[in-house]
Amino acid sequence: MIEVASLTKRYGELAAIRDVSFTAAPGQILGFLGPNGAGKTTTMRIITGFLPATTGTVRVDGFDVFEQSAEVRRRIGYLPENPPLYNDMSVPSYLRFVAKLKGLRRGDVAVALERVLDTCGLRQVRDRLLGHLSKGYRQRVGLAQALIHDPPVLILDEPTIGLDPRQIIEIRSLIRTLGGKRTVILSTHILPEVSQVCDKVVIINEGHIVIEDQVANLTRDRTLEDVFIEAITRDSGDGSRASAAAES
Amino acid sequence: MRNVFTIAGKELRSYFTSPVAYVLLASYLALAGYFFYALLLAFNQTLQIYSMMRNPEMLSRFNLNQMVIAPLLHNLAVLLIFIVPAITMRMFPEEKRSGTYELLLTSPVRVGEIVLGKFLGGLVLVLLMVALSGLFGVLLRTYGIALMATVFLALGTLISSFTDNVVIGYVGALFALLVLYTIGWLGETVQGVSGNLIRYVSITDHFQELTKGIVDTRDLVYFVTLVVVGLFLTQRSVESVRWR
């Protein structure tokens, strides 16, 4: 469903990601892990077509993100790190705006609106302005916005960040129900989230992929924490040794 | 086209659900009304003085159009130089700051549609303003001001697409519009080809004709060109995130 092939993104001299490749099968929930600044957001922005890659390709449902951008964008629901909300709009008028932007027909907008209000539990804040909502509800409106055109692919950038434990559990169970018919890429640095929600794990460190495997395979005899810490330390250790060698 | 109206509708709603539209409308109309009143008062007084002198030849040279309407239209143009940037300054910076830029650019919408939608939303507000000021007596000549305001809006839109800072969006647009409005001063002294060029670029020279009630295709071409070029460059500037 999603094929990322040797993506590199350079900002001048600095490479934010180097030769990143992984795939997500249809219906899979893919956990995208990595320390802060490892390149998770950059990779997701490239997949959604917000940023261009320096080299490499991304295919979503067979369509190339750069060549057939409009087709890809129609199929993707994207929740950026900060939910993209207009603070002076009310919940329904915002969601109706997004629905039209995503190309829903006038007749389908009302149905889609009711559907996401239910799935994301937004009934009780229906008449509020987005600027007056709590962090948890803002995150849910962000998710509702990503779901409104019923996309086959969801890209969620740290959907549970800044939420209280109860809200985290709610959002997680919501995401779990979304898998199966949708392909989801979920970035996070909360490891238990991945073992609970995801089918597959991709770990990125300092801009390149260190692990790509099924959750079940990785956690057969160890916890995901051990796997993660080991992978990151081994990788960063190599990196610093390599740079030390280069200097000498 | 549908996407253009979706975005224009959202822009308009955000102007009118916040105090922005009302503050801008009220300030513009209050000042416009004051300018009109002051000019009319001055005209009236001069007229009285000259009629006391009983000099019919002098009186016949009195012209309401030249003494009230033309200066009023110039004053309104200057007022719009300050007001229009306040409309355009937040168009793009606010989207970039709040992260909604990502929503717009990852939706199946063309960049040109985003730009046109934002421009159209602002245009409705600006034309409403101009039309309301047209109500007090200058009904005849508002098309000149309307064209001028449309050009200002297109250039303001362009400048707001360069930045993620609202203040820079305002001052940048103000600067560009003031240069456009005052460059004609040089045209009066500079001779030759460069003088002609400056006189052609200067918006005041084209506006002058319109305030006299002369609609010349050359002036219309000038205004339309500025709007089209402004919007085209905005489209390129927004699109440039994709190839940087």
pLDDT of residue A246: 43
Residue B167 in contact with partner chain A when CB distance is under 8 A: no
Distance from C-alpha of A167 to C-alpha of B89, rounded to nearest angstrom: 37
Interchain pair A100, B6: CB under 8 A: yes
> Residue A242: which pLDDT band, with cuts at 50, 70 and 90?
very low
**Residue A173, min C-alpha distance to chain B (Å):** 25
- Min Cα distance B147 → chain A (Å) is 30
- pLDDT at position B136 is 66
pLDDT tens for residues B72-109? 888 999 999 999 999 999 999 999 999 899 999 999 99
Model pLDDT, residue A84: 94
Contact B102 A52 (CB under 8 A): no
Are the Cβ atoms of A82 and B2 closer than 8 angstroms? no
Q: Is A74 on the interface with B (CB under 8 A)?
A: yes
Please give the ipTM for the structure prediction.
0.86
pLDDT of B9 > 90? The answer is: yes
- B108 in contact with A at a CB cutoff of 8 Å? yes
Secondary structure of A52-116 as H, E, C letters = CCCEEEEEECCEECCCCHHHHHHHEEEECCCCCCCCCCEHHHHHHHHHHHCCCCHHHHHHHHHHH
Does residue B118 carry a pLDDT above 90?
A: yes
Mean pLDDT of all residues in A164-172:
83
User: Is the model more confident about A129 or about B200?
Assistant: A129
Partner B contacted by A52 (CB < 8 A): yes
Q: Which of A56-65, A226-235, B42-51, B197-206 has the highest average model confidence (pLDDT)?
A: A56-65
Q: Is the pLDDT of residue B57 over 80?
A: no
Residues of chain B positioned with their CB less than 8 A from the CB of A93: 13
Q: Do B241 and A51 touch (CB under 8 A)?
A: yes
Q: Are A157 and A44 in contact (CB under 8 A)?
A: yes
Q: Is A171 exposed, middle or buried (0-12, 13-18, 19+ CB in 10 A)?
A: buried
Per-residue model confidence (pLDDT) at position B157: 96
Q: Which of A78, A93, A97 sits opposite B106 (nearest CB)?
A: A78
- The encoded tokens of residue B13 equal 């709603």
Residue B44 belongs to what domain range? Answer: 2-242
Judged against a pLDDT cut of 80, whether residue A24 lies above it is answered with yes
| B106·A50 Cβ contact <8 A | yes
Give me the residue label for tokens 């080299």: A55
Task: Say if residues B170 and B89 touch (Cβ distance below 8 Å).
Answer: yes
Give the DSSP H/E element, type plus range, for residue A229.
Answer: helix A224-247
- Among A130-144, A228-242, B129-143, B180-194, the range with the most confident prediction by mean pLDDT is A130-144
Contact residues, chain A, for B15 at CB < 8 Å: none
Identify which has the larger pLDDT, A121 or A155.
Answer: A155
Picking from A73, A76, A84, the nearest residue to B98 by CB comes out as A84
Above 60 in pLDDT, residue A194? yes
> Domains of chain A: which residue ranges?
2-247
Identify the closest residue of chain A to B99 by CA–CA distance. Answer: A84
Give the helix/strand (H/E) hosting A8.
strand A2-11
In A, which residues are within 8 Å of B109 by CB distance? 101
pLDDT of residue A238: 61
Please state the φ and ψ torsions of residue B61, each to the nearest 5 degrees. Answer: -85, -5
- Which range is least confidently modeled, A38-42, A186-190, B90-94, B230-234? A186-190
d(CA A233, CA A135): 33
Any chain A CB within 8 A of the CB of B14? yes
User: Which has the closest alpha carbon to A99: B3, B210, B234?
Assistant: B3
Provide mean pLDDT across the span A72-88. Answer: 92
Average pLDDT, chain B: 89
Question: In A, which residues are within 8 Å of B241 by CB distance?
Answer: 50-51
Q: What is the pLDDT of residues A210-241, one digit of tens each?
A: 888 888 888 777 888 888 888 888 887 765 54
Q: Is the pLDDT of residue B141 over 70?
A: no
Give residue A15's pLDDT: 86
Helix (H, G, I), strand (E, B) or coil at A6: strand
Calculate the average pLDDT of chain A.
86
Average pLDDT score over residue span B131-150: 78
pTM: 0.89
Tell me if B102 and A50 make a contact (CB, 8 A cut-off).
yes
State the Cα–Cα distance between residues A183 and B94, nearest whole angstrom: 32
Provide mean pLDDT across the span A119-146. Answer: 90
Q: According to the model, what pLDDT value does residue A247 have?
A: 43
Model pLDDT for residues B158-196, shown as the tens digit of each residue:
999 999 999 999 999 999 999 999 988 887 788 888 888
Q: Distance between alpha carbon A194 and the CA centroid of its chain, in Å?
A: 12
Confidence of residue A168 (pLDDT cuts 50, 70, 90): confident
Contact A80 B102 (CB under 8 A): yes
Residue whose C-alpha is closest to residue A199's, from A186, A218, A183, A216: A216
Does A201 have pLDDT greater than 80?
yes
Chain A residues in contact with B17 (beta carbon < 8 A): 88-89
Out of A16-20, A51-55, A93-97, B46-50, give the one with best mean pLDDT.
Answer: A93-97
What is A2-247's CATH number, 3.40.50.1820, 3.40.30.10, 3.30.300.30, 3.40.50.300?
Answer: 3.40.50.300
Please name the residue of chain A whose CA is at the shortest distance from the CA of residue B244. Answer: A52
Q: Residue range B143-155: average pLDDT?
A: 92
> What confidence category does residue A244 fall into, taking pLDDT thresholds of 50, 70 and 90?
very low
* Number of domains into which chain B is organized: 1
Task: Name the more confident of A78 and A160.
Answer: A78
Tell me what the mean pLDDT of segment A69-95 comes to: 92
In percent, the amount of chain A with pLDDT more than 70 equals 96
